[in-house]
Amino acid sequence: MAAFKRILLKLSGESLMGAKQYGIDENRLSEYAQQIAEIVKMGVQVGIVIGGGNIFRGLSGSAKGFDRVQGDQMGMLATVINSLALNSALQSAGVKSRVLTAIRMEPVGEFYSKQKAVQSLENGEVVIFSAGTGNPFFTTDTGSSLRAIEIEADVMLKGTRVDGIYTADPEKDPTAVKFDEITYDEIYNRNLKVMDLTATTMCKENNMPIYVFDMDTPGNLKKVMSGEKIGTLVRN
């Protein structure tokens, strides 16, 4: 039995780069697809939001002179590219999946609605939510919080390259200590950079637990679904 029935999995665009400096590493993409296929076989309903930082990030673009709104729109399109790549990899792995977009762009993807998303999940399809919220000034973290709440997921899984939340950045501070569990209030008080403030507040106000874990190690997603405590749980 899986620990959760319906999840929203947030994947980092940067992680898709794998060993590359830019773009999509086909091996990493295939690893992700295989991990997702494993939990679909367990009967888990899977929604996915993937970032676009491996292609373009609106915020860093605006720091270099891009108009913020147009920069964010470019970032949204980057998430669509990643979503299509993951969709293709999932289908190659024998998983039924579809891409829903927050901006109308048929035939690239179907326009998002909660009803369509939930119906697809209940039919056993993996649903990839692309183009963020469809609005500038919102990150894909906020987009994933929104979709998790809308589809009434049991948990939002944040797949990163670190194995949870620490007192400081473990890649910079060797004395950093990992939390097995932490509250939203503690995240605010300690000023921990788990997600942006808007995304964290949405999850807090809607009682959406977040589980942060290392997605880049094959097999970890199945471990989380099997109830193994390999990451950090955030809740009220």
pLDDT digits (tens, 9 = 90+) for 100-112: 999 999 999 999 9
What are the backbone angles phi and psi of residue 71, rounded to the nearest 5°? -60, -45
Q: Are strands 45-50 and 155-160 parallel, antiparallel or unpaired?
A: unpaired
Lowest mean pLDDT among 2-11, 65-74, 148-157: 65-74
Two tokens at 101?
């977009």
> What structural domains does the chain harbor?
6-235 (3.40.1160.10)
User: What's the whole-model pTM score?
Assistant: 0.95
Report how far residue 179's alpha carbon sits from residue 2's, in angstroms, rounded to the nearest whole number.
Answer: 23
pLDDT digits (tens, 9 = 90+) for 1-51: 899 999 999 999 999 999 998 999 999 999 999 999 999 999 999 999 999
Query: Hunting for tokens 């955030």 — which residue is that?
Result: 234
Percentage of the chain modeled with pLDDT above 70: 100
